[in-house]
Amino acid sequence: MITRYVLEDAESIDLPGRTFHTYFGPWNSDAEHLSIGLSVYPAGSRPEGHIHPAEEETIFCVKGRGRIVSPDATAELTPGVLVHVAPGTFHATESDGPEDLELLCVFTPSVRAGSYEKES
């Protein structure tokens, strides 16, 4: 089976410092073990970081410039760079501008966008 997913059909959620567009996951496909979305950080955005307790995240920089920061390392982001974040790793994203930072995010196992954010 081949199924096409487009931004206009993605579930979009506003999270601190970014908008996350969930393209694909168990809730809208036959996938059982992963979810994929596009995270868009406006230029200058630097939201507090977070942890995915059980999920690994693989991040591909589509557009823009910035970095993923953890207590142990910093990964500079430019188009074409891929970063892997192990489960349980605190990480924060910084967008340098001048354009938005767009990151394709793949989670295994799947996760609902925002479920890992601190409660206000």
* 1 within some domain: no
* 99 within some domain: yes
* 118 within some domain: no
Say if CB 95 and CB 39 are below 8 A apart.
no
pTM attached to this predicted model: 0.91
Cross-strand partners of 19: 14, 40
What is the pLDDT, as a whole number, of residue 12?
A: 93
Whether residue 39 is predicted with pLDDT greater than 90 in this model: the reply is yes
Structure tokens at 13: 């959620």
Whether residue 114 is predicted with pLDDT greater than 90 in this model: the reply is no
Q: Over the chain, what is the mean pLDDT? A: 92
Q: Cis peptide leading into 53, omega within 30 of 0?
A: no
Report the number of distinct structural domains present in the chain: 1
Of the ranges 25-29, 32-36, 113-117, the best mean pLDDT one: 32-36
Structure tokens at 91: 């990480």
* 42 within some domain: yes
* 116 within some domain: no
- The confidence band for 100, taking pLDDT boundaries of 50, 70 and 90, is very high
What is the pLDDT, as a whole number, of residue 45?
A: 97
Give the number of other Cβ atoms within 10 Å of residue 54's Cβ.
12
Instruction: Please name the residue that has the structure tokens 């591909």.
Output: 60
* Structural domain boundaries, residue 51: 7-108
CA distance 85 to 11: 23
Q: Assign residue 89 the CATH number of its domain.
A: 2.60.120.10
* 43 within some domain: yes
* 117 within some domain: no
* 119 within some domain: no
